[in-house]
Chains A and B, each alone.
Chain A
């Protein structure tokens, strides 16, 4: 609904993002900047939240993105697409955040084996005890998707988030990332394959133990079978 009002207002104003940003660049026009902020803050917040997996960080990175946009306003070229310029700023900030987290993890986190053991126990618990409430199941499923996405390498997570959640076309993603469209396609293919593996339903150990020879393996899928 909000997006509809903004689009309507943009039509009524008869001015594009690029024109607004050009005014910000040329005259430090605060009203135009406020308009761009209002229009783009939600997509940027969602992008940053999806990429970092954390709502608080998403909010912080959104604010940092707009601060950097205003600070770098002189670098904006009128011929360039505003959205591409803005997505790039946000992506670079998210990448900086990944590097920082990675450095922290190297110093602070427990050894990999311990983490893997912990993670697998957590996942097991989720698969073992799906709640009866469909909302709870959906939330669990959402948490699994979030975890699977966060475990993907950065280059794969970026293409999935930009295509699926931000609804950018493959060509636009190539433009934002500054890589050929073929590379985007191949990254996306790898990403979807890895994601499929990560989300692959696991066997419930108790059922697996009780499995009889000749029984259909599909009947042992604790999650998919309960859904389908």
Chain B
């Protein structure tokens, strides 16, 4: 039996297959236990995903409740007004009355709703932007502190390196001086030895010239 590919079942699972494809897949399902089990497993997993619930944010709840309260209060007032009117006033054509006041009520309701929601939205936006700005400042301050610490560390490293170089330079200078002294002493000794040799040579020549026959 040729089974549809797993990816072909995904739109079917979510009800997004084209009708003719959905019909073919449904027909296949009736005769194929393997695909039925696979799809049942997926459905079970999808169903279990619903168990991870997130709480709503406090702000959204407050806003929702306040708008709801306002709407309920408006409704109660309208109903009360309607009841009082019905009980105390003369019989009127309710249809024409409703059609005459409905646009005005609708307009007022829209305006008031808009202003309430706009005020709350503005408050929410300002609060979010304010929080974001505070966080950005904190991040910038932390970044600057980090930079300063890094710079101080770099400066210490450079100073240590310079001190080490200076020590090495002084050591090298002392070694050089000592070697030059040794060289000078050795040279002096050599010169003295040469002079003595020359004097001795001159003495031999004088003695030799005196002993020659006339």
The interface residues of chain A lying within 8 Å CB-to-CB of B14 are 163, 169-170
Check if A9 is an interface residue, CB within 8 A of chain B. Answer: yes
**Number of residue pairs across A and B with beta carbons under 8 Å?**
117
Which residues of chain B from 130 to 184 have a CB within 8 Å of any chain A CB? 131-132, 135
Check if B54 is an interface residue, CB within 8 A of chain A. Answer: yes
Q: B1-30 interface mask toward A, CB cutoff 8 Å, 1 = contact, 0 = none?
A: 000001111110110100000000000000
Which residues of chain B from 100 to 130 have a CB within 8 Å of any chain A CB? 110, 113-114, 117-118, 120-122, 124-125, 128
Q: A146-B52, A160-B49 are in contact. Are A37 and B128 (CB under 8 A)?
A: yes
**Alpha-carbon gap, A186 to B5, bound state (A):** 9
Check if A138 is an interface residue, CB within 8 A of chain B. Answer: yes
| CB proximity of B74 to chain A, nearest CB, Å | 13
| CB proximity of B65 to chain A, nearest CB, Å | 9
Q: A34-B125, A38-B124, A163-B14 are in contact. Are A12 and B114 (CB under 8 A)?
A: yes
Q: A133-149 interface mask toward B, CB cutoff 8 Å, 1 = contact, 0 = none?
A: 00000100111111001
| CB proximity of A184 to chain B, nearest CB, Å | 8
B64 touches A5 (CB 8 A): yes
**Alpha-carbon gap, A186 to B132, bound state (A):** 39
Check if A42 is an interface residue, CB within 8 A of chain B. Answer: yes
The interface residues of chain B lying within 8 Å CB-to-CB of A38 are 117, 120-121, 124-125
Which residues of chain B from 27 to 79 have a CB within 8 Å of any chain A CB? 41-42, 44-46, 48-49, 51-57, 60, 63-64, 67-68
B8 touches A49 (CB 8 A): no
Most buried by A among B49, B55, B68, B124: B49
A189 touches B6 (CB 8 A): yes
The interface residues of chain A lying within 8 Å CB-to-CB of B54 are 46, 49-50, 55
A41 touches B128 (CB 8 A): yes
A33 touches B63 (CB 8 A): no
The interface residues of chain A lying within 8 Å CB-to-CB of B57 are 42, 45, 59
Q: A63-B132, A142-B52 are in contact. Are A189 and B10 (CB under 8 A)?
A: yes
B48 touches A145 (CB 8 A): yes
| CB proximity of B156 to chain A, nearest CB, Å | 26
Check if A182 is an interface residue, CB within 8 A of chain B. Answer: yes
B128 touches A35 (CB 8 A): no
- Give the secondary structure class of B's interface: helix
The interface residues of chain A lying within 8 Å CB-to-CB of B56 are 42
The interface residues of chain A lying within 8 Å CB-to-CB of B41 are 192-193, 196
| CB proximity of A24 to chain B, nearest CB, Å | 12
| CB proximity of A21 to chain B, nearest CB, Å | 15
Check if A30 is an interface residue, CB within 8 A of chain B. Answer: yes
The interface residues of chain A lying within 8 Å CB-to-CB of B135 are 63
Name the CB-closest residue of B to A39. B121
Q: A160-185 interface mask toward B, CB cutoff 8 Å, 1 = contact, 0 = none?
A: 10011100011100000000001011
A188 touches B60 (CB 8 A): no
**Alpha-carbon gap, A145 to B53, bound state (A):** 10
| CB proximity of A38 to chain B, nearest CB, Å | 4
The interface residues of chain B lying within 8 Å CB-to-CB of A8 are 113
The interface residues of chain B lying within 8 Å CB-to-CB of A182 are 7
The interface residues of chain A lying within 8 Å CB-to-CB of B64 are 1-2, 5
Q: List 15 A-B contacts (CB under 8 A).
A: A1-B64, A12-B113, A33-B125, A35-B121, A38-B120, A42-B56, A46-B54, A49-B54, A55-B54, A144-B51, A149-B52, A169-B14, A170-B10, A170-B11, A195-B49
* 7 nearest CB pairs, A to B: A34-B125, A189-B6, A185-B7, A186-B7, A38-B121, A141-B51, A145-B52
Query: Chain A residues in contact with chain B, CB under 8 A?
Result: 1-2, 5, 8-9, 12-13, 30-31, 33-35, 37-38, 41-42, 45-46, 49-50, 55, 59, 63-64, 66-67, 138, 141-146, 149, 160, 163-165, 169-171, 182, 184-186, 188-190, 192-193, 195-196, 199
